Amino acid sequence: MKPLTGSHQTRLLTTRLRIVLAIGWTAYLLALAIRGIIRPSQAGWLVPQGILFSGWVLIAFNIVIYGEICWMAFWCIRRTIGWERLFMAGMFANILLWPAKMLLPQWAFAIRHVGAFGLAVATLSALTLLLASSNQADSNRPDAAV
């Protein structure tokens, strides 16, 4: 098996605009997670019961959607490096723990805290990427001190 080298790694947060959007998105999700800790609600399905889905079709459809999310999380985390990998792991932490919240309701409180912590880590790692890109841009200026 061929080892995964740097040439296969992907950079997702390459521009300041993407990094600022990632900070905004994770900060919004973090605010929602903190709100969920303060005012807990029942954990629900990814796709709620409705006219189209009910019974075993609903369960099967949610399993397929969750499987796709797990596959996407695996590839996003595996393909990134450094602070971006930490960002992806933090972003997917809450989503990947969703079945545990459904199957073990007594752990829901702890799982909410872990998800909020993951989003806080993702927000801080995106902020670190923004500061690193600012420092890099400042050092590339022609009038920068040597």
Q: What residue spans define the domains of the chain?
A: 29-38+48-134
pTM of the model: 0.75
| Residue 61, both tokens | 């459809």
Residue 66 CB contacts under 8 Å (≥ 6 apart), including other chains: 46, 98, 99
Going residue by residue through the chain, which has 146 residues, state the pLDDT in tens, using 9 for 90 and above. Answer: 455 555 567 777 888 999 999 999 999 999 988 988 898 776 665 556 665 667 777 778 878 888 998 999 999 889 888 899 999 999 998 888 888 887 888 888 899 999 999 999 999 999 999 998 877 765 655 555 54
